[in-house]
Amino acid sequence: MRIKEHPILNFNHQKEIHFTYNGRAMIGYEGDTIAAALYDNGIRHFSDSVLHKRPRGLYCAIGNCGSCYMQVNGNDNVKTCMTLLEENMEVISEMSENDD
């Protein structure tokens, strides 16, 4: 959920950006990273780990840890916490059962 009122900061959530997550239409805002927009849409579970298929989501949110990798516009292992959301982006969870 977006912060409506804040004693110090002003957030400019003006321009909508449309994208899909596993085929579902979603809306984020200009300036969001992919991870931020997904998070705001209630998505915490981004992908599954390769070996043990454990749920993965954000951890560090600044590009250090690699926990938020997803497939974006056909490219694998995109750091969604560092990549800005763009209009019509296709974001797909990297689930290990799809890897055959």
Partner 1 sequence: MINRDLVIIGGGPAGLSAAKVALDAGMNVTLIERFNQLGGQLIKQTHKFFGSKLQYAKTRGFEIAKILIDDLSTYSEDRLQILLDATCVGLYPDKVLTVYQYNKYLKYKAKSVIVATGASEKVLAFENNDLPGIYGAGAIQTIMNIYGIQPGKEVVMVGSGNIGLIVSYQLIQAGVKVKALLEASSTIGGYLVHASKLKRLGVDLLTNTTVKKALGKDQLEKIITVRLDDQWKEIPGSEKEIETDVLCISVGLSPLHQLMSMAGADMLDISELGGLVPKKTCDYETSIKNVYACGDVTGIEEASSAMVEGRICGLMAANHLGFKHPNALELENDLNNQLCVLRQGPCGEKIRCGLKKAGEINV
Min separation Cβ 25 and partner 1, Å: 19
Is residue 66 close enough to count as binding partner 1 by CB under 8 A?
no
- Helix (H/G/I), strand (E/B), else coil: 97: helix
Cα 35 from Cα 85, distance rounded (Å)? 8
Given candidates 11, 15, 16, 95, which one binds partner 1 under the rule CB under 8 A?
11
Write the single-letter amino acid at 52: H
Counting Cα atoms < 13 Å in the Cβ hemisphere of 15 gives 7
Q: List residues binding partner 1 (CB under 8 A).
A: 1-9, 11, 13, 31-33, 36, 39-40, 44-46, 49, 54-65, 67, 81-82, 84
